[in-house]
A and B are shown apart, each in its own frame.
Chain A
Amino acid sequence: MNEELKQAIVQKLIALADDELILGHRDSEWTGHAPILEEDIAFANIAQDEIGHAVVWYSLVQELTGQKPDQLAFFRDAPDFRNVQMVELPKEDWAFTMMRQYLFDTAELIWLDSLAQSSYKPVADAANKMRNEEIYHYRHTSTWIKRLGLGTEESHRRIQSALDALWGYALQLFVPLPAESTLVTAGVVPDPAEVQAQWEAQVRPFLDAANLQIPDITTPVTTSRTNHTTHLVDLLAEMQSVARLEPEADW
């Protein structure tokens, strides 16, 4: 593998992993606070899955660069993270969290379906395994979106305003990385534009059936994963605090 392709793969893996890690951490903030005990357990389980996916992607980075997953997760600062802004936003109410999860899960599932065909075998194998879990996540979050959208006046108001707030953020999931075209040409990843087209074809009719109106926004909030909100700094301060107390600790 030439150096250019290798670097492009590393950048893609970091982006995938950072999305999962930061979302997983935000999801974990519901542990002990979800609307009902059963949902608390369910969502903690989903949070753990997302963090588990981050570990898988970071481990593939380690194979290429030698950097350890813990090093990447706990000892980088905000400017070095490559997650989309959507996942770093505070958890807000349950509707916001469910809508974020839905928009992310649907996109992730389509990415994984394509990545399972990747010409880079470690990525294909990892994607295949994660797909199974994401099918379940999708079932869980889409079930909630339907019920909130078609539920009471209050649930509809809350889930609609979550959609209004999140749509522009979700579009960032399909913005190509600087070296993405190298990866697409090499068959490592699908064309993000195709992923987005598939995603919209799935999400639009579903949200429509849940009586939700997609806002008239076609441009993502930002086009670079180097741009972050201040929320990421706060999140990392908490998430990394224990690991940084004792950097040499062996967990």
Chain B
Amino acid sequence: MSDTQWPRYEVFEQERPNRPFQNVGSVHAPDPELALLNARDVFVRRPDCAGLWVVPASAIFAKTAEELEADNTWKQTPVPADAPLETWLVFQKKTQRNVMTYVTHVGEVEARSPAEALAKALEAYATENVYVWWVVPERMITRSSPEDAGPWFTPARYKTYKLPTEYKTVTQIRQAKAQKRKSKQR
């Protein structure tokens, strides 16, 4: 059976300026531009977003700590002869708090292939307790632009009607339930 879904893009969010971008989940989209728009709608309808990136999932080279432990033959993958040296972004997951693979941007390496990028990342960014590593070629990243920030991220701040607390119904239902319980106890 063939997959009729659109390609998957991983989404990275920056909560505040100067904070690292963090993977928050994924969206499906026919192309990067729509992926970015979808990411905005799915992940940042609430405030505290300063920027968004999307990356096609197929462009990500990923290894878990277990995979690295069990097998390092990937390091032998030869670098294609004509592969250009380019910038790769390195992401790590350092906490088990989140069940999902929420990796955080930690830095860059220059490399000519996914395997070379990961090998360099392992050297440059080795710390204790890294559970997951991702490397992504920078050219595959589509970023929200600074001009987008206003229309994309600020409206969430004043759209209080999108919050359940805006409606008395929630507290009123609670009150009604409490009253019902009381009358049962009597």
Contact = CB atoms under 8 A, between A and B. Distances in A.
Contacts of A136: 40, 151-152, 155
B37 A139 contact: yes
Contacts of B151: 132-133, 135-136, 139
B28 interface: yes
Contacts of A38: 27-29, 38, 41-42
Contact of A41 (B6, B42, B155, B172): B42
Interface stretch (B99-107, B114-122, B161-169): B161-169
Main secondary structure of the interface of B (DSSP, over half): helix
Interface string A123-144: 0000001001101100110010
B145 to A, nearest CB: 11
A195 interface: no
B34 interface: yes
A95 to B, nearest CB: 15
Interface string B133-153: 000000000000000001110
B84 to A, nearest CB: 31
Contacts of B41: 38, 41-42, 45
Interface string A30-59: 000000111101100100110010010000
A250 interface: yes
B154 interface: yes
Interface in B22-61: 27-30, 33-34, 37-38, 40-42, 45
B37 A36 contact: no
A251 B155 contact: no
Nearest to A42: B41
Contacts of A36: 6, 28
B168 A251 contact: yes
Nearest to A147: B30
Given A38-B41, A133-B155, A136-B152, 5 more contacts: A39-B38, A48-B161, A52-B161, A136-B40, A251-B169
Interface of A: 36-39, 41-42, 45, 48-49, 52, 55, 129, 132-133, 135-136, 139-140, 143, 147, 250-251
25 contacts: A36-B6, A36-B28, A37-B28, A38-B27, A41-B38, A41-B41, A41-B42, A42-B38, A42-B41, A45-B41, A48-B162, A49-B155, A52-B159, A52-B161, A132-B150, A132-B154, A132-B155, A135-B151, A136-B155, A139-B37, A139-B151, A147-B30, A147-B34, A250-B172, A251-B169
